[in-house]
Amino acid sequence: MPRQIDVHNYARWNGGIIGQGGPTDHQFSGLWQKLASRYASKGSQMVFGVMNEPHDLNITTWRKTVQGAVNSIRNVTGNNNNIILIPGTLYCSAGAFVSESTEVTKVSNPDGSKTNLILDVHQYLDADYSGQSTECTSSLISGFQGLANYLRSNGRKALLSETGGGNTDSCVKYTCPLLDFLNSNSDVFLGWTSWAAGSFDASYHLTETPQNGVDTRLVTQCFKAKFSG
């Protein structure tokens, strides 16, 4: 099964934006050179997520930053076999990708191809799309349909690498249909992953960590049930 790692810093370090007054593109590319070298032995099963949820930045400049990271990864691996997730802006919003982030579709492999460069999108289903509420209000199918249309028209694919919700009736109601939509449009959506389980305890409002060996309703009824398509 593929394993994904990412840099979880919102395109920032100590408040400065990478390549835009904060760390330099050279420093960021150097970080990815080290990470790719560390994990290259895992082969094509390793997925590299360039950055988690960039936001409030110049997208043209950010595209150049991402290009440098891609070059570093490909130069280490010597091929295009690994998936690299390409992040836009606005916290990788799926619903806003077409209006805000298409600049990053210009990022290419060193050989000029776009093989295994997958667009990285996130989406929460609460009222302000932030994932701060345990209640969901919409499946946002129309937004994902617009993204699907764009992907088909441009020969690209995306991964919904982060979504989730509270252990509530409303999130079960709206999350399951979204996963059905993504599964039904697998020609352009590579898949989806949910947030989050592991070290999170029961007090975290989006936890998917089993409690006393029992999964949450959202996991059981949506994520687990829809995993096989």
Q: What is the pLDDT of residue 44?
A: 87
Q: What is the pLDDT of residue 110?
A: 98
| 84-133 residue pLDDT tens | 999 999 999 999 999 999 999 999 999 999 999 999 999 999 999 999 99
Cβ neighbours for 94, distance < 8 A, ≥ 6 positions apart = 121, 122, 123, 140, 143, 144, 147, 158, 160
Is 162 designated active site?
Answer: yes
Q: What is the model's pLDDT at position 229?
A: 52
Domain assignments of the chain as residue spans, ordered by start: 1-89, 123-229
pLDDT in tens, the chain (229 residues): 789 999 999 999 999 999 999 999 999 999 999 999 999 888 889 999 999 999 999 999 999 999 999 999 999 999 999 999 999 999 999 999 999 999 999 999 999 999 999 999 999 999 999 999 999 999 999 999 999 999 999 999 999 999 999 999 999 999 999 999 999 999 999 999 999 998 888 899 999 999 999 999 999 999 999 997 5
Q: What span, in angstroms and rounded, lies between the C-alpha atoms of 129 and 62?
A: 23
Determine whether 103 is an active site residue: no
**Among 100, 103, 135, 162, the one annotated catalytic:** 162
Render 154-219 in DSSP notation, one character per residue. HT--EEEEEE---SSHHHHHHHHHHHHHHHHTTTTEEEEEES--SS--TTSTT----BTTB--HHI
Q: Is this model's pTM higher than 0.85 or not?
A: yes
Residue of 53, 100, 103, 135 marked active site: 53
pLDDT for the residue numbered 199: 86
